[in-house]
């Protein structure tokens, strides 16, 4: 385990002293757990930012290709593909009867 000598403001250390016993941890354990929780929050923020960026990229692509696809019905296309696939399936023929 690595050892670090860090400086923390007294108001932070006062809170650590106040809450460490409540959660039954040492000072080091409490600070370690607090850092782990902070890292989880940072990772969530990174994922949210990536998600927002992806959505923005999708919107930009949609705006670029929108005029080309005007009048195109994606649901109808999916239905056509699905129905074509099912017609070849013997089980579908039995269900239709």
Tell whether 4 is covered by a domain: no
CA distance 19 to 83: 63
Tell whether 3 is covered by a domain: no
Q: Identify which has the larger pLDDT, 84 or 19.
A: 19
- Note down the domain range covering 19: 10-96
User: What's the number of domains the chain is made of?
Assistant: 1
Tell whether 16 is covered by a domain: yes
Cα-flanking dihedrals φ and ψ of residue 15, to 5°?
Answer: -70, -40
Q: Mean of the per-residue pLDDT values for the chain?
A: 88
Band (49; pLDDT cuts 50, 70, 90) = very high
Q: Which residues of 15-48 are buried (b: 16+ CB within 10 A; e: fewer)?
A: ebeeebeeeebeeeebbeeeeeeeeeeeeeeeee
């Amino acid at each position: 385990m690595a050892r670090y000598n860090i400086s923390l403001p007294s108001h932070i250390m006062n809170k650590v002293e106040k809450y460490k016993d409540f959660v039954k941890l040492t000072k080091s354990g409490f600070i370690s757990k607090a850092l782990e929780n902070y890292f989880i929050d940072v990772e969530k923020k990174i994922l949210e930012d990536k998600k927002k960026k992806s959505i923005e990229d999708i919107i930009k692509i949609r705006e670029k290709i929108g005029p080309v696809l005007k009048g195109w019905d994606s649901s109808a296309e999916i239905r056509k593909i699905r129905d074509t696939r099912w017609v070849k399936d013997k089980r579908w023929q039995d269900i239709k009867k």
